[in-house]
Structure 1
Amino acid sequence: MFFGTYTPKVDEKGRLFLPAKFREQLAEGLVVTRGQERCLTVWSMQDFAGMTDRLREAPVTNKGARDYVRMLFAAASQEVPDKQGRITIPSVLREYASLGKEVMVIGAMNRIEIWDPTAWATYSEEQEQKFSELSDEVFPGI
């Protein structure tokens, strides 16, 4: 499980130091790809394989499923962290998420998201009120 917020740097070669708390879970490899709201999503190989299995069940005749699969897989990059815990984020993904040297890395349960700090601050501020309101919808009766 991934949780917490971290502020590692992206170096001049496009490499990101994964937060130390995430490294063990991703040591065998990971997939980084487009996420929603113009962030990047990092999946363990196991979770990405599970998601791929579910996507295989979607009918190819469904335009939404085709579009989603194209966008997800076209930008996907399989990585194995180096001995220092770094992964390379391809330039196409850095551009997609408007990433510079400074980034925000957040744990989001079964995945990691990588955000531009300004985009994360804006998103987080916009969602604060909704977060309170959604608790009844996500956890009814609790």
Structure 2
Amino acid sequence: MGECGTLVTESGVVYMLMGEYRHNMDTKGRLIVPSKLRDSLGDSFVVTRGLDGCLFVYPMYEWEKLEKKLQSLPLTKKDARAFTRFFLSGAMESGLDGQGRLHLAPPLRSHASLEKSCVIVGVSTRVEIWAEEKWENYMEDSRQELESITENLLDLDL
């Protein structure tokens, strides 16, 4: 991670995944990835079950960092095993087709309740894919709690 939350790849290219985009998934589970996010994701990336009912999409260089952190979790801790199992069992390496679409496997679509209307969100080191209705509900709940969230984060010197 470079200054101001930017990502620096091994090749020295600087990216930050950000923005909110809306696209429809087709009946075959293909979803257009916005062009502004494609370069940051690269030719190959990992899609997995995310938290809060969405999918997480990691550029390969970020996935490798995360994988090392997961490997360092203690095998003797039940929570560590459960989290690693949840996160890795749903992971799949993927790429984009010639039209900039990502194919989402049925188990991933099911986890995030993806049917048609999707929201693709850049969140610094990853992309999140949400069902539009879930995203709207999440944002509404977050708006209501924003003051306390902000107070908690200010304690972290942000």
* Shared fold, TM over 0.5: yes
Match of 2:130 among 104, 110, 115: 115
Runs of 4+ in 1 over 6 A off after TM superposition: none
Distance 1:60 1:7 in 2: 39
Provide structure 1 residue ranges, at least 5 long, that are not aligned to the other structure.
Answer: none
Partner of 2:4: none
Alignment of 1:16-31 (within 5 A): 16-31=31-46
Partner of 1:94: 109
Alignment of 1:1-142 (within 5 A): 1-140=16-155
Encode CA deviations 1:21-69: one digit per residue, 9 max, x unaligned: 0001112211111111111111111111100101111110011110011
Between Structure 1 and Structure 2, the one with more strand by share is: 2
Which amino acid letter does the alignment assign opposite residue 5 of structure 1? E
CA RMSD of aligned residues (A): 1.3
Distance 1:42 1:34 in 2: 9
TM superposition score normalised by structure 2: 0.84
Distance 1:12 1:122 in 2: 24
Aligned-pair CA distance for 1:9: 1.5
Name the structure, 1 or 2, with higher relative contact order (CA <8 Å, separation 6+): 1
Which amino acid letter does the alignment assign opposite residue 87 of structure 2? L
